[in-house]
Amino acid sequence: MTTCTVAERSLSERVKPRIAVEREFARLGHTYRHGPLHFVFEHYFIRPVLESSLRILGLYNRGLRNALTPVIREIVLNFSDLPPAFHGFRLLQISDLHIDGVDGLAEALGPVIATLRPDACVLTGDYRFENFGPCDEVYPRMRQVIEAISAEHGVYGILGNHDAAEIAFRLEDLGVRMLVNEGIELKRNTEAIWLLGIDDPFDFACDDIPAALAGVPPEAFKILLAHAPERYEQAVAHGIQLYLTGHTHAGQIRLPIIGAVKHNARCPNAFRSGLWNHAGMHGYTSAGVGCSSLPVRFNCPPELVMFELRRA
């Protein structure tokens, strides 16, 4: 196995646009997508009311247990243009850990991940629970998760909308190759596929698919890692074969018949969870393994997704 990037730049260079946006968010006191009252309303009204309601109904502890019980989803995807050497290639996706928001999650994930033997592993963003404040609690817990991964072709990650730029540097120290608007080639024998990673398209809007494709052969088999599903049209236009994403948590709390209470992406419902196909491009929107707002899940278990790529 060998890997290489085209026109590789330092991580410091790659995260410069994101750092500039972080500074702008700090100046504004809010993100581009959410106004100044959003976080006040979320922290001082929505979360307390939802938690109190679940506790009164006797459901809070059940939701917490659900959040600490990850499932493994195994999905086979067929491609007519997959290089023959990659037939049977196993790719593990871990998304939306929010690892400092659920006590015990890293300990619950480690033994499960250790039983898996992917050829490569991808982390599709959101390692921090809040989208502001310190990240100190993220790193020891992420170390537990990363050390449980055994993947011959390596572990690759992108940043999500909850993540500070500093997380990219710390995860690289832990052995994750962070992809910030760039591509990396994975080789088996004389054949290759490309992993492309873009910066967060949801809040930071620093994503740049053309930059990620710079130097990638047009005929190459390409897998795009994007934190949110909203760039599906651009991905198809640039010849992507597989789009792996997360962000939505598939709702996290899903009601019988009604389904997800919250849809956290500006795209058709079909792209907000699970397996989908758009104009011949396969896509998967993971429900993630962590939680947002509250450390509970209902009818929406945390998931680790193992893809097996096959040549049709």
Residue 98: predicted pLDDT: 98
pLDDT digits (tens, 9 = 90+) for 2-42: 555 555 679 999 999 999 999 999 888 888 887 777 778 88
- Residue 5, in any domain of the structure: no
Residue 41: inside a domain: yes
- Assess if residue 260 is contained within a domain: yes
Q: Residue 242 falls within a domain, yes or no? A: yes
The H or E element containing residue 309 is strand 303-311
Closest CA to 115 of 285, 300, 309, 304: 304
Mean per-residue pLDDT, 94-112: 97
- For residues 61-83, average pLDDT: 97
Pairing of strands 2-5, 259-260: unpaired
Could you tell me if residue 114 is inside a domain?
A: yes
- Region of residue 171 (left: phi > 0; alpha: psi -120 to 50; beta: else): alpha
Residue 1 falls inside a structural domain: no
Q: pTM of the prediction?
A: 0.94
Alpha carbon distance 251, 249 (integer Å):
5
pLDDT for 6? 52
Answer for the pair 303, 286: CB distance below 8 angstroms, yes or no.
yes
Helix (H, G, I), strand (E, B) or coil at 191: strand
Per DSSP, the residues of 161-180 read TT--THHHHHHHHTT-EE-S
Domain extent at residue 20: 12-311
Residues 157-210 pLDDT 10s = 999 999 999 999 999 999 999 999 999 999 999 999 999 999 999 999 999 999
* Total domains, the chain: 1
Answer whether 212's CB lies under 8 Å from 182's CB.
yes
CATH code of the domain covering residue 218: 3.60.21.10
Average of per-residue pLDDT across 58-85: 97
